[in-house]
Amino acid sequence: MEEVRNQQIILQNYVNGFPKESDMLLITSSAINLNLPEASNAVLLKNLYLSCDPYMRGRMSKSQGSYFDSFTPGSPIGGLGVAKVVDSTHSNFKKGDLVWGGIRWEEYSIINDPQILFKIEDTDVPLSYYTGILGMPGLTAYVGFYEICAPKKGEYVFVSAASGAVGQLVGQFAKLSGCYVVGSAGTKEKVDLLKNKFGFDEAFNYKEEQDLDAALKRYFPDGIDIYFENVGGKMLEAVLSNMRINGRISVCGMISQYNLEQGEGVHNLSQLIAKDVRMQGFLVSRYFHMLPKYFEMIMPLIKQGKICYIEDFAEGLESAPAALVGLFSGRNVGKQVVAVARE
Amino acid sequence: MEEVRNQQIILQNYVNGFPKESDMLLITSSAINLNLPEASNAVLLKNLYLSCDPYMRGRMSKSQGSYFDSFTPGSPIGGLGVAKVVDSTHSNFKKGDLVWGGIRWEEYSIINDPQILFKIEDTDVPLSYYTGILGMPGLTAYVGFYEICAPKKGEYVFVSAASGAVGQLVGQFAKLSGCYVVGSAGTKEKVDLLKNKFGFDEAFNYKEEQDLDAALKRYFPDGIDIYFENVGGKMLEAVLSNMRINGRISVCGMISQYNLEQGEGVHNLSQLIAKDVRMQGFLVSRYFHMLPKYFEMIMPLIKQGKICYIEDFAEGLESAPAALVGLFSGRNVGKQVVAVARE
């Protein structure tokens, strides 16, 4: 009966406003037995990579209409990640399998209801990719861009938070579709990445623009056909004033709003009428059935080097709180991952 | 060479805030010759019914991204209406034809470019209906409800400004589609109409509700599938908090916002994400090609008495300014029409 320690990151208390590292705590819980009881129907995981995602902010507040249930103070943070099956009494998984999906922020997780645990079939790519381009953010970019915006060649596409896990893919999908694409980000380094690494036609630092409306008019003198919305608030307002007729807005996230007591108001929604604009929100968890279709498209692109994907690694479970908090000040460059263990 | 006087309603100056009667003026312009010059390519109309529509407010301001061009101070108000062709040098029209479409607020209009003038084929219905149920508002209700919201039997539908020209039709379309429909309006009289005349399942007076969110929760304990948006602002915010998964919002108008210096902010757009909600704006002028299809549906319903339609008549061109202004305080009950002449 082999037992190991199990360090965990727990939520200390519900969060108001910007989350701080001290809202979370690294603890060593009681030791965990590496063999599951025979009577169980569960999977025991050794966690390798944790995914830091903006939607997690909502789960740190006492539930008030967030997309998902709140975390429980005193219990480990839940999230997506990549893990290795150490033991399994569940018929879908066996020892040695690699999986991605819903895990917890700890060294080992026992998952009793492995409904959102997907077996990793292709290991010919970095395993951490299953927290990003081959996981939830990748599918998000795919669904939000292709399914919801139905891009046509030559259309004008704008992506906010464009160097993030989702945005960097949307921009590249737009180029693959023959669109003109502009991204916004919050540092010069990120703007350079967008233009030189991800192949955006143009990019700008929104923090350096006094007038977002004027900035968009500069990059889109003929207006925007497709907006991939990651930030909300003032940026959305500026975009609404610059949409073209029959424009589409895929509402993926609104990270600028998550830490505000009350969201910023959007004052010009009547632009939707003037331009016959469609604004469609979506939760990627309702589109997991499309993963096989997405993989069919994305795997060859990755293997042929036709798509570029940048990750930002934090090392060790202890670095996870800072990594998560950093998302909301834009500290990460590319997809924020926490490497708990490499194998 | 018969000449007649031509009274007109002109815009005095661009309007800020709520329009007043005194923003418009009744004048007698130079007399008009009832025979068009042979060299022209125009239609001379005797105007019968003028349509008062909320979108006209935008045209009273100096253009700032309204849907249509501004009116010109000193010139007659432009709008939709029903008229009789008095003379025509245009091949599509002949003397005696009845038409509806783009005219001006005056006794006689010379239309040089009759692109949005439609010949009235069926006179077996009240002619004034072509300003409403058989005109732009009718097509608006049809497009916004059937085309944009794609209703399914049993769905929960909410309509704001529900006793207006568009709303009263949307509610009845919803019942014809087997939906449950609730409407809001601003007086007890209108609420009674909604329930007793138009067949809404429920209706409430939004002015008597302290908390619109609570009101909607009362009428839609299971949430709203379809919202037909006529008002914007606080009502939209309350609706967003009560949408169901895969809900649809047809954005037809935002009358509560038209007279404000800056629109009220909508603070909870992230609800679009949480519920996979689609919000689609539209301008009915882009759907005029669907008129024949709409007429095919609506004409039998009218003639069989299966649809109810209420108009509010103001008599005489001189009553037009008050009638238009009244839209924005909700004075009208049903479609506001100005009867300039009856034949």
Q: What is the pLDDT of residues A124-182, one digit of tens each?
A: 999 999 999 999 999 999 999 999 999 999 999 999 999 999 999 999 999 999 999 99
How far is residue B134's CA from residue B138's CA, in Å, rounded to a whole number? Answer: 6
CATH of B3-131+310-339, one of 3.90.180.10, 3.40.190.10, 3.20.20.140, 1.10.3720.10: 3.90.180.10
pLDDT of residue A230: 94
In this structure, the number of other CB atoms found within 10 A of the CB of residue A131 comes to 29
How far is residue A132's CA from residue A82's CA, in Å, rounded to a whole number? Answer: 10
> Could B254 and A241 be called an inter-chain contact, meaning their C-beta atoms sit closer than 8 Å?
no
pLDDT of residue A268: 93
Of A248, A296, A258, A325, nearest to A138 by C-alpha is A296
Q: Residue for token digits 């909607």?
A: B216
Q: H helices of B8-166, where?
A: 56-59, 136-142, 148-149
Per the model's pLDDT, the better-predicted residue between B80 and A65 turns out to be B80
HSE-CB at A290 with a 13 A cutoff on CA atoms is 18
Sign of CA dihedral B164, B168, B174, B179: positive
Of A31, A53, A118, nearest to A82 by C-alpha is A118
> Could B272 and A278 be called an inter-chain contact, meaning their C-beta atoms sit closer than 8 Å?
no
DSSP state of A143: I
Q: Do B3-131+310-339 and B136-285 share a fold?
A: no
pLDDT of residue A256: 87
Residue A276 with chain B: CB contacts under 8 Å: 280-283, 286
Give chain A's end-to-end CA distance (angstroms, integer): 22
Of B164, B156, B158, nearest to B140 by C-alpha is B164
pLDDT of residue A241: 96
Average pLDDT over residues A98-120: 95
Burial class (CB in 10 A: 0-12, 13-18, 19+), A169: buried
Please give the distance of CA A219 from its chain centroid, rounded to a whole number: 26
Q: What is the pLDDT of residues B202-228, one digit of tens each?
A: 999 999 999 999 999 999 999 999 999
Residue A65 pLDDT exceeds 60: no
Residues A267-297 as b or e (16 or more Cβ within 10 Å = b):
bbbbbbbbbbbbbbbbbbeebbeebeebbee
Residue B260 pLDDT exceeds 90: no
Cα angle, residue A37 at apex, residues A33 and A42 outer, rounded to 5°: 95
pLDDT of residue A343: 84
A64 pLDDT band, cuts 50/70/90, is: low
Residue A62 pLDDT exceeds 80: yes
Residue B306 pLDDT exceeds 80: yes
Residue A236 with chain B: CB contacts under 8 Å: 269
pLDDT of residue B233: 95
- Closest partner residue to B283 among A236, A269, A274, by Cβ? A274
> Could A269 and B274 be called an inter-chain contact, meaning their C-beta atoms sit closer than 8 Å?
no
CATH of B136-285, one of 2.40.50.100, 3.40.50.2000, 3.60.110.10, 3.40.50.720: 3.40.50.720
pLDDT of residue A36: 95
> Which structure tokens are listed for B88?
């025509």
B67 pLDDT band, cuts 50/70/90, is: low
Q: Residue for token digits 């091949």?
A: B91
Per the model's pLDDT, the better-predicted residue between A279 and A114 turns out to be A279
Residue A259 pLDDT exceeds 90: no
CA distance A246 to chain B (A): 9
Average pLDDT over residues A37-54: 95
Residue B155 pLDDT exceeds 70: yes
B64 pLDDT band, cuts 50/70/90, is: low
How far is residue B246's CA from residue B272's CA, in Å, rounded to a whole number? Answer: 9
Average pLDDT over residues B262-288: 94
Query: Which region among A265-269, B95-99, B318-322 has the lowest average model confidence (pLDDT)?
Result: A265-269
pLDDT of residue B65: 54
Residue A265 pLDDT exceeds 80: yes
Residue B63 pLDDT exceeds 80: no
Residue B139 pLDDT exceeds 60: yes
Q: What is the pLDDT of residues B76-120, one digit of tens each?
A: 999 999 999 999 999 999 999 999 999 999 999 999 989 889 999
Per the model's pLDDT, the better-predicted residue between B260 and A340 turns out to be A340
- Closest partner residue to B270 among A257, A270, A286, by Cβ? A257
Of B135, B131, B137, B198, nearest to B163 by C-alpha is B198
pLDDT of residue A290: 97
* Order of strands across the sheet that contains B224-229: A202-205, A180-185, A156-159, A224-229, A243-251, A278-281, B278-281, B243-251, B224-229, B156-159, B180-185, B202-205
> Could A277 and B281 be called an inter-chain contact, meaning their C-beta atoms sit closer than 8 Å?
yes
> Could A278 and B276 be called an inter-chain contact, meaning their C-beta atoms sit closer than 8 Å?
no
> Which structure tokens are listed for B293?
């299809």
Q: What is the pLDDT of residues B158-177, one digit of tens each?
A: 999 999 999 999 999 999 99
SS3 B215: helix
| Cβ contact B273:B246 at 8 Å | no
> Which structure tokens are listed for B203?
């209706």
pLDDT of residue A67: 67
Residue A63 pLDDT exceeds 80: no
Of B245, B203, B244, nearest to B223 by C-alpha is B244
Residue B66 pLDDT exceeds 80: no
Instruction: Give percent of chain B with pLDDT exceeding 90.
Output: 91
> Could A276 and B281 be called an inter-chain contact, meaning their C-beta atoms sit closer than 8 Å?
yes
Query: Which region among B3-12, B62-71, B122-131 has the lowest average model confidence (pLDDT)?
Result: B62-71
Beta strands in chain A (DSSP E): 3-11, 24-33, 43-51, 78-88, 98-104, 108-111, 117-119, 156-159, 180-185, 202-205, 224-229, 243-251, 278-281, 311-315, 335-339
Superfamily of segment(s) A3-132+310-339: Medium-chain alcohol dehydrogenases, catalytic domain (3.90.180.10)
pLDDT of residue B259: 84
Residue B252 with chain A: CB contacts under 8 Å: 273
| Cβ contact B156:B180 at 8 Å | yes
Residue of chain A minimizing CA distance to B257: A270
Question: In chain A, where are the structural domains located?
Answer: 3-132+310-339, 136-285
Residue A66 pLDDT exceeds 90: no
| Cβ contact B186:B115 at 8 Å | no
Average pLDDT over residues A211-238: 97
Residue A286 with chain B: CB contacts under 8 Å: 245, 276
Query: CA of A135: how far to CAs of A292, B139, B270, in Å?
Result: 11, 44, 22
Query: CA of A74: how far to CAs of A26, A71, A334, B44, in Å?
Result: 11, 9, 30, 79
| Residues on chain A bordering chain B, Cβ-to-Cβ distance under 8 angstroms | 65-67, 232, 236, 241, 245, 251-254, 257, 262-283, 286
Q: What is the pLDDT of residues B175-197, one digit of tens each?
A: 999 999 999 999 999 999 999 99
pLDDT of residue A1: 66
pLDDT of residue B1: 66
Burial class (CB in 10 A: 0-12, 13-18, 19+), A46: middle
DSSP state of A185: E
